Amino acid sequence: MLLAIDIGNTNVTLGVFCEDKLTFEARFATRRERTKDEYSFELLNMLSLNAIQPADITGAVISSVVPEITFAVGGAVEIVTGCRPLYVTAKGKTGVTICTDTPDQLGADMLVGSIAAIEKYPLPCLVVDLGTATKLYAIGSERTFLGCTIAAGVGISVKALTSGASQLPAFSIEAPETTICTETMKCMQSGTVFGAACMIDGMIDRFEKELGYPFASIVATGGYSIPIVGHCRRKITTDYDLLLDGWRIYYTKNA
């Protein structure tokens, strides 16, 4: 079995694959102050809850955008499973040509997302990642990472709104019945959900105008993709496990 771990700014996501089938997926909060031993305890619990024995794990791969805890999590993997993890980097075998000014600085999440999109969807492809940050990145027909945009994520925007305005309450991220609302909480839901959907539609239009051609596929992933993407006017495929598949493919290419 392959253990795949994505260290994000908000959550650490892990999945276990049996060959190319995802056996389970779990998340726990990213805590920069945690030690290797604490992450070992968390990992062991997650495996146990899903009836996976540490000895069943024969390989591990880690993708991280939080450098300060990357090796603490990697050390936890070694303690629990006995496997030395493979770390995702642009220097590995990816099958992606990175056409940016600083290829080595491409985030591991966008790299594995590109790897999976190339394998799973028609090119050219646009990936919309709605996580801690909202990221849109374009993949050309020649398996090239062409570039991206990065904006504050939906959750960050909501937190800033409710913490910075005394009379605005906390609210769930879901769409109201109408865009024009007459109750404060629904007004905030409308602005958040429909506003994010319009931003995505508008950015897709700008991407296609600058590139000079339409995308053959548009794929959304990330924790906020479910409440947002259904309200976009463009046809967008939601693939919640896109990054997990990217880790598996990267491991297959490099193990």
- Residues with catalytic roles: 109
Exposed, middle or buried: residue 144 (CB in 10 Å: 0-12, 13-18, 19+)? middle
The closest of 120, 118, 126, 44 to 78, measured between CA atoms, is 44
Distance CA 242, CA 230 (A): 18
Single-letter amino acid code for the residue at 245: D
6 forms beta bridges with 13, 63
Distance CA 89, CA 126 (A): 21
Single-letter amino acid code for the residue at 53: Q
Look up residue 90 and give its two tokens: 């642009």
Exposure string of 161-172, with b = 16+ CB inside 10 Å and e = fewer, is eeeeeeeeeebe
